[in-house]
Structure 1
């Protein structure tokens, strides 16, 4: 980068830091998108097993609590 545009205003090092920050934001955004996209997808059998395990744990913790269903 020469002494034109933003490079002239901020200096060459600042432009490189700005591009690195921009690249970091993109990489972080992709990682967050991937994590959100992959989470929360359980098959019907997995969801049923999770619900059964949750109810069993709740009954174990508080036997007097009425069943949800």
Structure 2
């Protein structure tokens, strides 16, 4: 059995670990992209509710703030 490429340089176990690192990085990257895409999209009603909650919290924390 002859080794070639990466496994010749790093050894059989190290080559397997390298592939696991690549697969793990790919899965993590996919999860991050999915999370960013889902977090950036709010429906109109959700955005309005978020704005109302933000304004209420700001009035609660600073009652002298002018209403907009």
Note whether the superposition's TM-score is higher than 0.5: yes
Q: State the match for 1:37 in structure 2.
A: 37
Q: Secondary structure at the match of 2:7?
A: helix
Number of residues of Structure 1 aligned to a counterpart in Structure 2: 68
Measure the CA separation in 2 of the matches of 1:4 and 1:13: 14
CA distance in 1, matches of 2:38, 2:63: 35
Q: CA RMSD in A?
A: 1.4
- Alignment of 1:59 onto 2:59: yes
Runs of 4 or more, structure 1, over 2 Å off, are none
| Aligned-partner SS, 2:4 | coil
* TM-score when normalising by structure 1: 0.88
SS at match of 2:25: helix
- Rounded to whole Å, the distance in 1 between the matches of 2:33 and 2:25 is 12
